[in-house]
Structure 1
Amino acid sequence: MDLEVRHLRVICAIAEAGSITRAAASLRMTQPGLSAQLRRIERRLGGLIFDRCHTGAVPTAFGELVLARARAILPGVDALLADTARLTRRSTPERIRIGSVGAPLLADLVLAVRRILPGAQVTARCRYAPAPLLADLAAGRLEAAVVGDHPGHELTAPPGVLLCPLVTEPVFALLPAGHPLAARESVRLSALIDEDWAVPRPDSDRTREYWSTVFALMGRQPHTPYEAGGRQLIELIRAGLAVTLCQATFIEAPGTTVRPLAGNPLWYRHLLAWPQDGPLAPHGETILREVAQGYLGAVTGPYARWRERHPGPTG
């Protein structure tokens, strides 16, 4: 039997677990199967690596030597595999995995990537908050992501990940269509403070925290009996049970009305993110330009009228 890297990992796993039984569970192997493999490794190396006893597996003096060499070798092997994987992904990407929070940028990002890398398979998945997406980017599980943050609650990029701001937009109010303030061109946040509110669940995007900070400046916090998102949120608003806040590009559903907030007290920033050594990094400027053009295409209704009156604040 030739000694392989996987055999070194087996030895280290047994030493770390302190017993063959526990190591077998962590390696998803049977205990007899792991014991047989260990015996083959010991025969190949020419000595006992572990003393087996009722308390577990204890390295012998010979085993300490083997473990020291294995622990010195494996980090270099892992680094080699990681570096070659990154180089392969960058030079000949076969699959581009994209993640997104709830934002109007995902489709335009997918289209931009397809134009730039026509031979790549593009997939997408959505998450509620940006933190899991940034973790996936750092771990190599995604090649790009749409994320967002708020003033004073800006995202921090993990090592090796680029955050590219695209546009900062105002936060608007989402009201029932029959609400008394729905007929106005804009509404004051203070005029909504006595309403029942539907709010997003607390999460790593810190939206709830940001809203609370703004309300604290008003000296009051709204009553928030409903915690919801997506379709459930729309149904609460449509039924006249609550009001809430939304992105400026939010598409009015039947029975709901989107209105700017007077004075623009809240803001939201859209960002694109990708690994700095990933396959999309060399195309960053092109991607940002094309996604920005797509974003402008989503500017309709109340937001379009708002931008006509405020041509400068957004990025």
Structure 2
Amino acid sequence: MDLELRHLRIVRAVAEAGSVSKAANLLGLAQPALTAQLKRIERLLGGALFERDRRGARPTQLGELVLERARVLLPAAKELQDEALRFASSPSIRYRLGATNGPVLGGLLDRLAAERPVTTHTSWSAAELTTMAELGRLDYVLIGACGDSGPPPSCLYWETISTDPVFALFGPDHPLSGEKEVELADLAGEQWAVTPGDGCFADCFAMACARAGFTPLAMYETDLATCAHLAQVGRATVLCQATHQPAPGLTMVPIAGAPLRWRQLLGRHPTAPDSSWVIGQAKSAHIESVRRSPIYQDWLVRNPGFGTAP
């Protein structure tokens, strides 16, 4: 008979319980069966592992040696099992992608799925997605960052996919909906709507308004569909990424001087597969989103420092 992990679990159980009878109850075994197994283990290891009397069971010197090794080997075996399960469900089989709201996700998902299966997790929180990737539950995370701010601190490697201006989205009856460009100061009396996040966008927006000479009115943080509805009915002006595809009846207008910028960042776990290729696919997806926006394309001709990262 060879020594097995289950033998070490028995030895550990007896030591922790302090008696064979208590260990038998914890392991769901009859006491005679556990006693018989313990005797076989002792024969295999060459000596008694416990001194047993009416007060219980106490490890011998040989028992202490075995227990010392068991306390190392059993957690290591559990860690190996967990690692194997994580590996079997990830890189060699599928891409695991997390993302916040943004223009790149659809195109990137399409490209990745053409190569192998993809699982996705979406969240408004870049911090939540980053933590999931750090824990090995995601391979890649696609997030946005305001201005020059960075991603949440982590062990991930980050790549800038694009830098885009923030435009204004107007409803059909808004007096500025036909303009080629608007000054932020011209929007001082507006209510605002934006999709939520856990970055510094609200602070950056407030500072941009202060530089333009006003304090912004209330801002609604809500989902894309509700933002579009608020613009449609004239309840709010929506702040959106320049790659946004407006719903029918809505008009996207650049804000002069691009006082607000938004970067798309791709973070990858150190063990993520095909990293260079995935980064390239993310940038291709952004290029495609720009091509679908004539307003942004026209704006980029006059502002070449923005768009897809080289």
User: Unpaired runs of 5+ in structure 1?
Assistant: 19-31, 49-58
Aligned-residue offset at 1:143: 2.2
- Report matched runs for 1:223-302 at 5 Å: 223-224=217-218, 226-281=220-275, 283-284=277-278, 286-298=280-292, 300-302=293-295
Check conservation: 1:127, 1:133, Cα contact below 8 A. Answer: yes
The superposition leaves residues 235-256 of structure 1 with CA deviations (integer Å, 9 ceiling, x where unpaired) of: 1111111113111011111332
What is the CA-CA distance between 1:232 and the residue it aligns to? 1.5
User: Deviation at 1:86?
Assistant: 6.9
**Aligned counterpart, 2:144:** 148
Specify the alignment match of 1:166 in structure 2: 161
Go from structure 1 to structure 2 and tell me whether the alpha carbon gap of 1:227 and 1:148 turns closer, same or farther (over 3 Å shift): closer
Amino acid across the alignment from 2:253: R
**1:222, 1:37 → 2: CA distance?**
70
1:189 and 1:94, CA in 2 relative to 1: closer, same or farther beyond 3 A? same
Q: Is 2:125 the counterpart of 1:125?
A: no
Q: Is 1:106 equivalent to 2:105 in the alignment?
A: yes
1:311 aligns with 2:304: yes
Output the amino acid matched with 2:179. Answer: R
Residues 217/289 of structure 1: CA separation in 2 closer, same or farther (3 Å cut):
closer
Q: Which moved more, 1:248-257 or 1:264-273?
A: 248-257
Bigger-Rg structure (1/2): 2
Structure 1 residues 295, 241: CA separation in 2 closer, same or farther (over 3 Å shift)? closer
Provide, for residues 213-269 of structure 1, a one-character-per-residue CA deviation record: whole Å limited to 9, x for no partner: 333444543121633222122111111111131110111113322110011100000
Offset of 1:82 from its aligned partner? 6.1
- Per mean C-alpha deviation after superposition, the further-off stretch among 70-79 and 303-312 is 70-79
**Match for residue 54 of structure 1?**
none
Contact 1:199 1:226 in 2 (8 A): yes
CA distance in 2, matches of 1:34, 1:81: 23
Instruction: Provide the aligned C-alpha RMSD in A.
Output: 4.0
Q: Give how far 1:74 is off.
A: 4.6
C-alpha change, 1:139 and 1:174, in structure 2 (3 Å) is same
User: What's the secondary structure of 1:264's corresponding residue?
Assistant: coil
Shift of 1:145: 2.5
Is the CA contact 1:89–1:279 (under 8 Å) kept in the aligned structure 2? no
* Partner Cα distance (1:72, 1:249) in 2: 54
CA distance in 2, matches of 1:88, 1:302: 45
Is 2:198 the counterpart of 1:194? no
Query: Using the alignment, how far apart are the partners of 1:220 and 1:41 within structure 2?
Result: 79
Cα separation, partners in 2 of 1:270 and 1:60, compared to 1, 3 Å: farther
Which stretch of structure 1 is more off in the superposition, 260-269 or 236-245?
A: 236-245
| Pairs aligned (count) | 283
Stretch of structure 1 that moved more, 73-82 or 126-135: 73-82
Amino acid at match of 2:173: G
Distance in 2 (CA, whole Å) between partners of 1:38 and 1:295 is 67
The answer to whether 1:97 aligns with 2:91 is no
Mapped to 1, the partners of 2:125 and 2:85 lie a distance apart of: 28
- Aligned counterparts of 1:216 and 1:67: Cα–Cα separation in 2: 67
Of 37-46 and 256-265, the range deviating more from structure 2: 37-46
3-state DSSP class of the match of 1:180? coil
- Gaps (5+ residues) in structure 2? 18-23, 43-48, 51-56
1:3 Cα deviation from its structure 2 partner: 5.6
> C-alpha distance in 2, partners of 1:140/1:84?
12
- CA drift at 1:38: 11
Displacement of 1:289 after TM fit? 4.9
CA shift, 1:199, in A, is 4.0
- TM norm structure 2: 0.73
Other structure's SS at 1:182 match: coil
- Counterpart residue type for residue 303 of structure 2: H
Q: What's the offset of the Cα at 1:168? A: 0.2
User: TM-score under structure 1 normalisation?
Assistant: 0.72
CA distance in 1: counterparts of 2:208 and 2:295, whole angstroms? 22
- Counterpart residue identity of residue 36, structure 1: G
CA distance in 2, matches of 1:194, 1:307: 28
1:139 and 2:135 matched: yes
